[in-house]
Amino acid sequence: MSTRPLTIFIIAHVWLFMITTSVAQIVIDTSGEPVEDDEEYFIRPAITGNGGGSILVTRNAPCPLHVGLGNSEGTLGLAVKFTPFAPRHDDDDDDVRLNRDLRVTFQGFTGCGQSTDWRLGEKDATSGRRLIVTGRDNGAGSHGNFFRIVQTQTGGIYNIQWCPTEACPSCKVQCGTVGVIRENGKILLALDGGALPVVFQKE
């Protein structure tokens, strides 16, 4: 009996598995299209009642600026771009992947004279949660700017985590998922609490 049909069957299923896995690793925007690192997107809560899109927020001082959400659910917020940590091997592949370290950068300028990259900030004294601020991480290791997008149980809806295992594979970090803190009428993003499901809307 020829083994050729069986061989073709196995190869076809391996190929299908590889294609499916590859597609599953791509982040999808609200239009069902792949999120690309050379395009601008609005990060918005996937569930109503959490506020508007992501914005720059002042807290106790004018600088550094924190990352938060608009108070009005109708606002898109400020657009961001994603920059992968790992270089791509294929110049034509600009799709943003799940579970890969990347920078999140607001597209705009501030009066603080600093980068608008998202960065892991200080721990809030009241809640004990780590806040998300803006600016470049110039400390030892310099991995505070690297976040990652992870899939929730619902297709097209994601969480954002700080867990820079690509940027610093030897580091022992306390990973955390981005959620919100409400403070003095403002909505700030922070780790170590309830997760904020988000979607990505192309500008």
Residue 182: which CATH number?
2.80.10.50
What's the pLDDT score for residue 5?
A: 52
pTM of structure:
0.85
Distance between CA atoms of 83 and 134, rounded to whole angstroms?
Answer: 15
What's the pLDDT score for residue 22?
A: 43
What's the pLDDT score for residue 86?
A: 82
What's the pLDDT score for residue 90?
A: 62
Contact 163, 143 (CB under 8 A): no
Q: Please, what are the averages of pLDDT over each run of 10 residues along the chain (203 residues)?
A: 50 42 76 96 95 94 92 94 82 87 94 91 93 85 90 97 94 95 95 97 92
Domain span at residue 100 reads 4-202
Counted domains in the chain = 1
**DSSP three-state, residue 144:** coil
Contact 173, 120 (CB under 8 A): no
Which of 105, 118, 107 lies closest to 178 in space, CA to CA? 118
